[in-house]
Amino acid sequence: MRDLVVTENITLDGVIDLTEGWFAPAGEDADQADLEATLREQRDAADALLLGRVTFEDMRGYWPLQAEDQTGITNYLNNVSKYVVSTTMQDPEWEHTSVLRGAVVDEINALKAEPGKDIVTTGSMTLVRELIAAQLVEEYRLFVYPVLLGRGGRLFADATDVPNLWLVEAQPFRSGIVLLRYRTV
């Protein structure tokens, strides 16, 4: 059975909403080679990307247009199997994308039962909270940015739904970002 992995960029106070512009606290020119290497390893361990409709549309409107991308993210996103949860989307307009229209729990359990590598989801606050509440997540990869916002959408908005977590990795990067990996117990 495949693992469902939630990967989020998150502030110290738990915000995952990117509307405040906190995504590059170390500066655009900071050396992030160590972070990029870890992201490549994680991409290599996954063959499916699960997104909510809003995050999918944001990514579809940005990543396919990045012809100068040296990180490999554009190539990965253009070629990975993408699954978007939506009851309204008809044509995803991005290759290798399937629209999941059924009950989320049933759709995700069917994906997890297929052979393959990790299924990763990112952004997609509404979807991720539903996955957490349904206890479908095996791992959390939280890229913690050294920023405090005090407001914004938080990953664990309803902490009663979060299962017990076991820290399996804490990896600091030169930029000040820290990866915290947790497995559900």
Listed in sequence order, the DSSP H helices in the chain are 33-44, 53-60, 73-79, 104-113, 125-133
Is 4 in contact with 121 (CB distance < 8 Å)? yes
CATH number for region 4-184: 3.40.430.10
pLDDT given for residue 28 in this prediction: 64
Q: Where are the domains of the chain?
A: 4-184
pLDDT given for residue 162 in this prediction: 74
pLDDT given for residue 134 in this prediction: 92
pLDDT digits (tens, 9 = 90+) for 31-68: 888 998 999 999 999 999 999 999 999 999 999 999 89
Q: Which amino acid is at 183?
A: R
Is 185 in contact with 165 (CB distance < 8 Å)? yes
What residue ranges of the chain have pLDDT lower than 50?
none
Distance CA 101, CA 88 (A): 8
